[in-house]
Structure 1
Amino acid sequence: MTCPPSEVGHIGRIPVRNLWLLMLYASELFRQIDEDKIFVEENPDDIPDLVAEILIRQVERRLKRNLTFGYRTREAECSRVRGRIIHLATERRRLLDKGRVACRFEELTVDTPRNRYVRAALERLSAIVHRPGLARQCRSLAASLQLMGVTGEKPDRSKVSVERFGRHDVHDRPMVVAAHLAFDLALPTETFGSKLLCVPDREIHWIRRLYEKGVAGFYDVVLSRLGWHVTAGKTLSWPIESKTSGMARILPSMRTDIILDHPAQGRRIVIDTKFNEILASGWYRAETLRSGFLYQIYAYLRSQEDTDGQLAQHASGLLLHPSVDEMIDEAVVIQGHEIRFATVDLGGTAQEIRKQLLGMCG
């Protein structure tokens, strides 16, 4: 059963379709899709269908060239020695009297964690795509993989993520990237049935990370073509002049979410994404900016003034929050650095989200 676009709900106040859009931006797949597929930004409801098309195409290509095999460890009673003898089992079962021996050996198999992961992704996508034909293709390919011997349980994502790609299996990479995104897309719909889902702490943490990675991925793809250099998750060094022996152990590190550099224009924007309300209750006023975030972005800017020439000396900062009830876009210049406080409406249309994100560096 596929999910009609009109029935896809919300997590908190955010439409699931906009979470799908952030997932696409955060994914390596966004950097790989054809230019003519970028239209999917205008209709995020089609993102599961796009991912299904890409995964189907990649799996079909692998089937034409044969799936990548791998080794797995097996234990069996053999009529001749294979690999290493399991002496205890051989003696306990008196296998030598029967002309057999217990062995532990490696064998080639198509039932690898990677192939099982892809088969499970096809099965998962078949439940969330909107076009019945795509759902049938996903189920058919999953069944084909099972008939070929890919029968094991879906492995943990972490087990697949740590695998390295060599020259012999580099063509598996696009397939695995699409499978990762397929499971991401399915996350918000796993509790499908309630139109408005609550947001427990674990989901808040997940959405916060998605928000950060989605904004970084969007800027990386869109701004890189316009002369910007995009860096995500960079650790900054404190300009330490001296320190006591135990300070290194307890001094907090500085890690930025996103840095946008445009060398030709001499511009640097240090962005910190915050997944909470931009304003809080103050001691002497009804609303105020969160002081801790202001101190944080101020430290990022001032501490790096002597590191990168003009880019660092005139860098600006941006604290980017999702909007709650109202849009805010205010700025202040402190000791030569502009610090901007802005919101992006994750409840808006995809075109509005894109326009707002681009406007932050205009």
Structure 2
Amino acid sequence: MKLVSAFEHGWLTIGKEGDLTAPEADALASAESSLPRNCLEWGRNRVKFRQFCGVVQIQQILQIEILPKVFPYQTPDQQRTTLIEMLDTAGDIEGLSAQQAGLGVSNHRLLDVFIRHFLKLLEAQLQQGLLRDYRDVEDTLDQVRGRIDLIRQQRENLFKPQRLACRFNELVADIPVNRLLHSALICMSNLASSSMLRQHIQSMRIRFGGIGVIHKGEHLPRADDLNRMQRRYASVVELARLFIDGQYLDARAGQQQVYSLLLDMSQLFERFVAVKLRPTARKMGLRLMEQGPRKYLGDDDSGKGRLLMRPDISLLNALNQPVVILDTKWKLLDSGNPLASLSSADLYQLSTYASAYCCDQVMLLYPEQAGFRGEYRMALNLGRPVTLMVLAVPLYGEVFSLPAQAVKHAESEAT
């Protein structure tokens, strides 16, 4: 299988001497309907992934790994580390960065890192025992077990008194959660690029002997479906769902098996920032809200609201009024001066938020990048004093919080 590394918004050339051959590009085009909408952008003899990172695999023909664009000077290994720490912080794949050293990030591709992490989590839980649960069983036996089903006894064994129609509970391992985990292992055995990793997966599958798989259309168990005794499997179950959700069978492509594990970096960055800022907001006596509060910009003649506004992050006071509105942007700025690089659309958006929510402090948050670290400030002319702050958010290592002046302002508004 051919392995290709790419960066989001970075072009892959198509041709005999390019990153992808024409047949490989055709296979990717056939799989496009299974990928997130507007994930790909095509050009003349080239293609790129927009704001998505992760992995796309088409059968055993092609695997494309898409890495973050923010630090172009980083090596692919460092890019993987950046993405892994963001996923861990945002809570998408719990505990991943804490096990980076054991996973060997520098020696494996991104998908193999995810698979190794899943196997490590699963193995830790299996050491405490495979999950089992009670299942209602109906059977005909020669002695009573549980209770006798009188209706079935009369219908089936009226002339066989030595046979008893029984109904009882039996503790079994073939339950939906274990079928989900077994299905995930089968999925991973077709995705792992390392032969040693595939052998590890096969050895894990032995533990699931006699357990079935999840069939198409069946409900995939979630962490919320687990009972009190099963909660320790929560992170493993959610990761198994992530792998199984990425499968896609495209009948139009000749039963072509397509797998995708793609992450929208704009959404991931927003969750990452929210997690980083939540402790700061709590200390300031404010409540952090994601994707809200929602409010219509205006009403039409019938009184129906139009143009729903939904700020990425808001800090609310005790009266549930926004005192700071933050908008996250997963973008690279064109120059070392962020204020000169801001787009008109971003400025209009923040100005609208400030006016509609009567908020006198708004912020634009970008990932920290070459030439942009720290903070910049400007005043918006909206008929009253409104401050716009442009902040760089470190993606790993450093602790991120709001600038001291912004904190002081927010605390005064909270009181």
Matched, 1:17 2:72: no
Tell me which of 203, 218, 225 is aligned to 2:272. Answer: 218
Tell me which of 358, 361, 369 is aligned to 1:314. Answer: 361
Give the corresponding residue for 1:174: 235
Structure 1 residue 109, shift from structure 2 partner: 1.3
Q: How big is each residue's C-alpha offset from its partner over 1:206-246, in whole Å with a ceiling of 9 and x where there is no partner?
A: 97x83443123433566679x5779563431659xxx9xx9
CA contact (8 A) 2:269 2:328 kept: no
CA contact (8 A) 1:231 1:259 kept: yes
Give the SS at the match of 1:116.
helix
CA 1:174/1:210 → structure 2, altered by over 3 Å: closer, same or farther?
same
**Unpaired runs of at least 5, structure 1:** 195-202, 262-266, 276-287, 306-311, 321-330, 343-352
Give the SS at the match of 1:159.
coil
Give the SS at the match of 2:221.
helix
Q: Work out which structure has the larger RCO, using CA pairs closer than 8 Å and 6 or more positions apart in sequence.
A: 1
Tell me which of 130, 133, 138 is aligned to 2:193. Answer: 130
Q: Equivalent residues in 2 for 1:210-359 (5 A)?
A: 210-220=264-274, 227=280, 231=288, 233-236=290-293, 254-259=309-314, 268-271=324-327, 298-305=351-358, 312-316=359-363, 333-335=380-382, 336-337=385-386
Q: Give the partner amino acid of 1:233.
A: E
Q: Give the partner amino acid of 2:312.
A: D
Structure 1 residue 132, shift from structure 2 partner: 1.6
Matched, 1:109 2:172: yes
Q: Give the RMSD, CA atoms, in angstroms.
A: 5.3
Matched, 1:82 2:139: no
TM-score, with structure 1 as normaliser: 0.58
Q: Give the partner amino acid of 2:149.
A: I
Structure 1 residue 139, shift from structure 2 partner: 2.3
CA contact (8 A) 1:121 1:183 kept: yes
Matched residues, number: 292
Q: How big is each residue's C-alpha offset from its partner over 1:311-344, in whole Å with a ceiling of 9 and x where there is no partner?
A: x531235699xxxxxxxxxx983524467999xx
More strand by share: 2
Q: Give the partner amino acid of 1:85.
A: D
Give the corresponding residue for 1:46: 109
Q: Determine what percentage of the aligned residue pairs are the same residue.
A: 16
CA contact (8 A) 2:223 2:235 kept: no
Structure 1 residue 274, shift from structure 2 partner: 9.7
CA 1:118/1:140 → structure 2, altered by over 3 Å: closer, same or farther?
same
Give the SS at the match of 2:207.
helix
Q: How big is each residue's C-alpha offset from its partner over 1:57-88, in whole Å with a ceiling of 9 and x where there is no partner?
A: 2222222211121233333334436357272x
Q: Give the partner amino acid of 2:66.
A: R
TM-score, with structure 2 as normaliser: 0.51
CA 1:256/1:56 → structure 2, altered by over 3 Å: closer, same or farther?
same
Structure 1 residue 176, shift from structure 2 partner: 1.8
**Unpaired runs of at least 5, structure 2:** 7-18, 21-27, 29-38, 41-47, 54-64, 69-79, 254-259, 317-322, 332-342, 368-377, 404-415
CA contact (8 A) 2:292 2:313 kept: no
Give the SS at the match of 1:137.
helix
More helix by share: 1
